[in-house]
Amino acid sequence: MLWEPSILSLQVTLVASVLILVFGLSFGIFLARKQFPGQIFISTLLNLPLVLPPSVVGYFLLLALGRGSPIKEWLGINLLFTWQAGAIASAVVALPLMVESTRAAIGSVNSELEAAARTLGSKEAEILWRITLPLAYRGILAGFGLSVARGLGEFGATLMVAGSIPGRTQTLPLAIYDAVQSQNYGLANVMVLLMTTIAFTLLWWVRLLERQKEKGKGKIDAVDSRY
């Protein structure tokens, strides 16, 4: 019973991680580089999953994926109570962490370097790929690590849209809850230890990235002070 939710959690987390990376990076770059009417509204909307109860996020996802939604009616895809729905729920809940980390990391890049590249004829896409992202990658990776850890531990929204079906949609957080409910504390202890170890490892990695970023910034400041 331990391996089924573990493998399913890995599967859900991998798919959620891809969604987080693609959409989180895209939204973060867009919000960091563009100024437009309604930007605050969009940013607030993207950050709502951070403050809303997971059950509310899950309810919104029920409306988005259920009967009458474009995904259900137009595309003919039924995602409710599948592991794919769990992956979407995990991605939505964790997405704000990736968006904000990416926006902050890109916002901290020295704009003079990008301006110099423009004067040399570089296109915006080339500047982003060759200058901005390499300079901001530690902050982006840190946000990605936090997002993956948050998605891995998602419970409420996943339960709303995917349920807790053993072998089909029951991830580790859901399996822990069921084990406690059935008073199988031995199994619960093992799964809790596994989840805690994974989360600790991800957070430790994030802290190492942040420390490297601080050291790199300190070296740059030291070089600048000489001139």
Q: What is the pLDDT of residues 81-95, one digit of tens each?
A: 999 999 999 999 999
What phi and psi, each to the nearest 5 degrees, are found at residue 153?
Answer: -90, 5
Distance, in Å, from the CA atom of 41 to the CA atom of 10, rounded to the nearest integer, reads: 34
What is the reported pLDDT for 218?
A: 54
What is the reported pLDDT for 23?
A: 97
User: What homologous superfamily does CATH list for 3-226?
Assistant: MetI-like (1.10.3720.10)
Q: Copy the structure tokens of residue 77.
A: 């895809």
CB atoms within 10 A of CB 9: 27
pTM as predicted: 0.89
Taking CB atoms within 8 Å and a gap of at least 24, the contacts of 191-199 are 191/2, 191/5, 191/6, 194/2, 194/6, 195/152, 195/153, 198/149, 198/152, 199/149, 199/152, 199/153
Q: Side-chain half-sphere of 134: how many Cα atoms within 13 Å?
A: 7
What phi and psi, each to the nearest 5 degrees, are found at residue 69?
Answer: -80, 155
What is the reported pLDDT for 215?
A: 67
What is the reported pLDDT for 151?
A: 95
Which segments of the chain have a pLDDT < 70? 213, 215-227
What is the reported pLDDT for 198?
A: 93
What is the reported pLDDT for 216?
A: 61
CA dihedral 168, 171, 177, 180 (to 10 degrees): 80
Q: Copy the structure tokens of residue 98.
A: 């990736």
**152-154-157 Cα angle (round to 5):** 145
